[in-house]
């Protein structure tokens, strides 16, 4: 799960003097949106980080994802600005406050104790009337402090009932990739009723050689794709990425390994008709450097992937 990027509250988003962001292309989508989460560095906020990444790869992203708690508004000036320029937003709001250190029990949400905030968000998005991908508490498997799988489902059901008046929203239910292989109780333990979400989401990474075994893109996401097919849903990959294969004190690893991993991933994506968008996680989390520019070859492969007409 990615960190919460600082949200801009400026009326007119301003990238500031630190960035010289050119006018970049964003063509019509052929099939799959090419998206990203960019971790803010220093004094950047989430929008500035995205624009800086766009400058690196030479194109606008078709989708931008971000994370937040239930103490800030979902509809921000940044969301409106990005949407107006043609970038679809994916927002995941979680049952916590601030940076996640203060949690909100799912049972409290299901009992209606947070209806005031939820209704405010639903009304604002309904009045705005523009498309957005949205989910309640992605990767619930990693938040046992919030409750049980049954309590998560009950909270999701309650949240969806309060958002019923916002028809332009496309809802996801998003789980970890190992859950689709039966870990964490399996997907059925966590997923709400299928009529309450439109798209099945999944997050996953290749962390080898820093951790575990080597996983190709197919290794991480095929089971989620197959599960989406069984329940009749489209698939979205909200987090994906790889570390360099010679990182974490493994200098004998292939220095072009991450570049090849990204190139292979792009080839697989183009064969998966059910896949409607992907969002790369441009960050370092602990020892795992998922940055798209962790090496020149990785940046080149990611940039070439984004310029494929399939993603434009």
- pLDDT in the model for residue 30: 59
What is the C-alpha to C-alpha distance for residues 239 and 280, in angstroms, rounded to an integer?
A: 6
What is the C-alpha to C-alpha distance for residues 275 and 197, in angstroms, rounded to an integer?
A: 16
Q: Is residue 310 exposed (0-12), middle (13-18) or buried (19+ Cβ within 10 Å)?
A: middle
Q: How many CB atoms lie within 10 A of CB 248?
A: 17
- 108: helix, strand or coil: helix
Which residue in the block uniquely carries the two structure tokens 């009337």?
129
- pLDDT in the model for residue 101: 85
- pLDDT in the model for residue 99: 80
Return contacts of 252-261, CB within 8 angstroms, 24+ apart. 253/209, 255/295, 255/297, 256/297, 258/294, 258/295, 258/297, 258/298, 258/301, 259/295, 259/297, 259/298, 259/300, 259/301, 260/301, 261/206, 261/216, 261/217
Token output for 143: 């938040």
Mean pLDDT for each consecutive 10-residue tract of the chain (312 residues)? 46 42 46 95 93 96 96 96 96 92 96 98 97 97 97 98 94 98 98 97 98 97 98 97 97 97 98 96 96 98 95 82
Q: How many helices and strands in the chain, by DSSP H and E?
A: 8, 12
What is the C-alpha to C-alpha distance for residues 142 and 31, in angstroms, rounded to an integer?
A: 31
Find how far residue 193's CA is from the centre of its chain.
21
Element (H, E) at 35: strand 33-38
- pLDDT in the model for residue 31: 84
Token output for 166: 């916002």
DSSP 58: T
DSSP 295: S
Element (H, E) at 281: strand 275-282
Phi, psi of 31 (to 5 degrees): -150, -50
Q: Which of 79, 80, 110 is nearest to 92 (CA)?
A: 79
What is the C-alpha to C-alpha distance for residues 254 and 269, in angstroms, rounded to an integer?
A: 23
What is the C-alpha to C-alpha distance for residues 52 and 43, in angstroms, rounded to an integer?
A: 13
What is the C-alpha to C-alpha distance for residues 111 and 158, in angstroms, rounded to an integer?
A: 8
Q: Which domains does the chain have, with CATH numbers?
A: 33-311 (3.20.20.80)
Segment 193-233, tens digit of pLDDT: 999 999 999 999 999 999 999 999 999 999 999 999 999 99
């Amino acid at each position: 799960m990615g960190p919460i990027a600082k949200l801009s509250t400026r009326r007119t988003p301003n990238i500031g003097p630190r960035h010289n962001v050119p006018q970049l292309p964003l063509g019509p989508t052929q099939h799959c949106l090419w998206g990203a989460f960019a971790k803010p560095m220093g004094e950047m906020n989430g929008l500035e980080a995205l624009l800086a990444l766009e400058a690196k790869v030479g194109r606008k992203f078709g989708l931008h994802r971000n994370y937040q708690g239930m103490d800030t508004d979902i509809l921000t000036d940044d969301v409106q600005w990005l949407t107006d320029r043609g970038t679809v937003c994916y927002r995941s709001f979680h049952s916590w406050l601030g940076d996640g250190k203060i949690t909100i029990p799912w049972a409290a949400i299901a009992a209606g104790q947070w209806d005031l905030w939820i209704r405010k968000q639903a009304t604002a998005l309904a009045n705005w009337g523009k498309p957005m991908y949205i989910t309640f508490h992605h990767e619930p498997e990693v938040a046992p402090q919030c409750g049980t799988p049954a309590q998560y489902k009950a909270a999701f059901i309650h949240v969806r009932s309060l958002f019923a008046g916002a028809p332009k929203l496309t809802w996801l239910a998003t789980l970890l990739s190992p859950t689709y292989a039966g870990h964490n109780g399996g997907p059925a333990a966590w997923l709400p009723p299928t009529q309450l979400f439109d798209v099945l989401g999944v997050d996953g990474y290749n962390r080898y050689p820093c951790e575990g075994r080597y996983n190709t893109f197919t290794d991480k996401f095929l089971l989620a794709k197959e599960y989406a097919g069984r329940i009749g849903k489209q698939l979205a990959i909200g987090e994906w990425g790889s570390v360099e294969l010679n990182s974490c004190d493994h200098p004998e690893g292939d220095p072009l390994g991450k570049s090849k991993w990204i190139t292979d991933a792009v080839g697989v994506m183009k064969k998966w008709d059910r896949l409607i968008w992907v969002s790369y996680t441009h960050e370092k989390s602990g020892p795992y450097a998922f940055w798209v520019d962790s090496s020149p070859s990785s940046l080149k492969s990611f940039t070439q992937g984004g310029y494929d007409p399939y993603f434009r």
